[in-house]
Structure 1
Amino acid sequence: MFQGRRRRRRGGGEPTVVPDAEFRSYYGRPVLKAPVWEWKIAAYLFSGGLAAGSAVVAAGADLTGREQLRRVGWLGSFAALLASVYFLVTDLGRPERFHHMLRVLKPTSPMSVGTWILSAFGPGVGVAALRELVPARRRHTGPARLLGRLARPAGLSAAATAPGVASYTAVLLSHTAVPGWNEVRDELPFVFAGSAAASGGGLGMLCAPVAEAGPARVFAAVGAAGELIASRRMEQRMGLVREVYHHGRAGKLRRGAELLTVAGLAGTVLVAGRSRAGAAASGLALLAGSALQRFGVFEAGTESTKDPRYVVVPQRERLENARNDANQ
């Protein structure tokens, strides 16, 4: 609908009065309904990424003989996975809905593909984590011996699917009609993947001895740098929807995420290899930054549905660009 007036000349003749465009929906309602998801989905985004990042760290530690880092990685991944499933199932409202999504695989549905990726990831993490819970003196007897033989291939299979677990949630969000998510569909998977790596490496730095945490530090530094670069690239390519990422609660969350990730990255590079306290502080900063990143993106998407400008203006720009391309 339109309000206000603007004078416009018709050809070279006398001016006419036409309405000024003010974006407003009927009865003051938003063009799109806000997502019905609660904060549990944002927690699910973070915990799923942490599970994926920790699994990669644990698999690397297993292959390089770092037992304490391996233990931290697999137990952390399994705990984060359980939390992720809890947040997802409770938000769905009925636990059987998760089971129902496994009845069919739809390659065109990010939710369907993500459910199958999560289902392929979970058993390997469970087997590897269960081996870590068996006392060392019993690992070479009875069923524990078989479990020990299965743990490495199961863990490696989980690590192979971890990138999908880390990034599919970004694809899931960006394939909705929510402007704050749809407009960043090309960059958001890289932001989430970097965030997952930073959090997984951060957990290893927080809980494992400095002498064993070298791979976790490298993984965390690469992930944090990738997250910062992808996030900045995402902001540069945003249109009008950039406003929701810079203002309000979403803006505060994402500024906090950037500050914590930068601090964690600096600490990882400069002090984490020499100081146990520095490693723990850096790891904690990366974990907190990763969590705030997911909550900030979630909040920005929700906020973008409340103003019709974020729906109408990009649509008109796309139509105008299409007409210009057709006329060339």
Structure 2
Amino acid sequence: MPMVPEVEFTSYYGHPVVKPAPWGDEVAAYLLLGGVAGGSGLLAAGAQLTGRQALRRNARLSGLAAAGVGAVALVADLGRPDRFYNMLRTFKVTSPMSMGSWILSGYSGFLGVASVAEVDRLLAQRLPLGVLRKVLYAVEGPSGLAAAVFSAPLAVYTAVLLSDTATPTWNAMHRDLPFVFAGSASLAASGLAMLTTPVGEAGPARTLATVGVVADVTAMHYMESRMDPVAAEPLHIGRAGTLLRWSERLAVAGGIGAMLGGRSRIASAASGLALLAASACTRFGVFHAGIESAKDPRYTIEPQKRRLEKRRAQGVTDDSITTGW
């Protein structure tokens, strides 16, 4: 019989074990805009290859605008623009922030060239380009396809950025969050394209929306099933829980509208708005769930204890997890 009863450790005077990330809603907005930009770049490339000029133009301009506003939101959170520039001084494959800075820069550069050509056509070639106009139109196509190479990494690298932290809920998502963000990016980009593009050319966007809904909802549920139940709890409570419940509802509604209302401009726009809102709810919901999980010691300690017990039950007694060394 033990002389001293078991002590249930929480944390030192109830303080958080993990310091919450000092990020505001600017970062959550950047998560969303990165998905919009990444998905739009892929849509634009598909439209370019299939001759859908309106969809190509709208997706290119939407993608560049999202990347630009997202960069502004990121710099606003960093506090000084030179902090972003400094991240481009090195190329470190083990740093999600370093890789993300290069991905964003490459995407914006290539898509910017293609978008300038689109703007020049919209203005009936009134931009003061001179002899550069022929060069611009010659490199427009390759630039649009090069931007698509950066599109998928741009859409999902922020998932790696979040799950690479010690924040309990984000870290518990590390295996599956990129798939959730890929589905979310599909919803955002297809929804925006359905809002801005006539129904005659928005067929690929509707197809992407349908696939995106299935991917987003399935990946989210699968991810939760593989998480520690305590680490997943912040996804269902408070502000994050409300946002994620609405995300699924809006995604399903938007997906049904995309499948059934393809011939109606109003139905297409309404479905697109629902899909865009669903993506926003997913990204903001995941963001706030992680922030809240770092504030309560329980979300750090209980999953750690379960992992320790599981390893001991498997007979592992000599590693750093079980010995503390």
| Fold-level similarity (TM above 0.5) | yes
Q: Secondary structure at the match of 1:256?
A: helix
Partner of 1:256: 246
Partner of 2:320: none
Looking at structure 1, the residues matched to 308 and 225 of structure 2 have their Cα atoms a distance apart, in angstroms, of: 22
TM-score (norm 2): 0.92
Question: Where in structure 2 are the equivalents of 1:1-328 lying within 5 Å?
Answer: 10=1, 18-19=5-6, 21=8, 23-135=9-121, 137-138=124-125, 142-239=131-228, 240-271=230-261, 273-326=262-315
Looking at structure 1, the residues matched to 312 and 14 of structure 2 have their Cα atoms a distance apart, in angstroms, of: 31
Q: In the alignment, is the contact (CA less than 8 A) between 2:37 and 2:67 conserved in 1?
A: yes
Looking at structure 2, the residues matched to 132 and 161 of structure 1 have their Cα atoms a distance apart, in angstroms, of: 20
Partner of 2:323: none
Looking at structure 2, the residues matched to 141 and 282 of structure 1 have their Cα atoms a distance apart, in angstroms, of: 42
Structure 1 residues 312, 144: closer, same or farther in 2, change over 3 A?
same
Amino acid paired to 1:308: P
TM-score (norm 1): 0.91
Query: How much does 1:57 deviate?
Result: 0.8
Looking at structure 2, the residues matched to 35 and 327 of structure 1 have their Cα atoms a distance apart, in angstroms, of: 33
Partner of 2:322: none
Q: Secondary structure at the match of 2:315?
A: helix
Query: How much does 1:313 deviate?
Result: 1.3
Amino acid paired to 2:250: L
Q: Secondary structure at the match of 2:189?
A: helix
Amino acid paired to 1:106: K
Identity rate of aligned residues, in percent?
51
Q: How many residues align?
A: 313
Hey, which of these two has a bigger chunk of strand by percent?
1
Amino acid paired to 2:271: S
Looking at structure 2, the residues matched to 74 and 55 of structure 1 have their Cα atoms a distance apart, in angstroms, of: 6
Q: Secondary structure at the match of 2:112?
A: helix
Amino acid paired to 1:146: V
Looking at structure 1, the residues matched to 241 and 273 of structure 2 have their Cα atoms a distance apart, in angstroms, of: 21
Q: In the alignment, is the contact (CA less than 8 A) between 2:30 and 2:74 conserved in 1?
A: yes
Query: How much does 1:31 deviate?
Result: 0.9
Amino acid paired to 1:218: T
Based on CA coordinates, which of the two structures has the bigger radius of gyration?
Answer: 1
Looking at structure 2, the residues matched to 135 and 170 of structure 1 have their Cα atoms a distance apart, in angstroms, of: 36
- Can you list the C-alpha shifts for 1:97-134, whole angstroms capped at 9, x where unaligned? 11111111111111111111112111111111111110
Looking at structure 2, the residues matched to 133 and 159 of structure 1 have their Cα atoms a distance apart, in angstroms, of: 19
Mean alpha-carbon deviation: is it higher for 82-91 or for 28-37? 28-37
Query: How much does 1:17 deviate?
Result: 6.1
Looking at structure 1, the residues matched to 186 and 51 of structure 2 have their Cα atoms a distance apart, in angstroms, of: 20
Query: How much does 1:83 deviate?
Result: 0.7
Amino acid paired to 1:111: M
Amino acid paired to 2:233: E
Query: How much does 1:141 deviate?
Result: 7.2
Amino acid paired to 1:276: R
Q: Which runs of 5+ in 2 are unaligned?
A: 318-325
Q: In the alignment, is the contact (CA less than 8 A) between 2:10 and 2:301 conserved in 1?
A: no
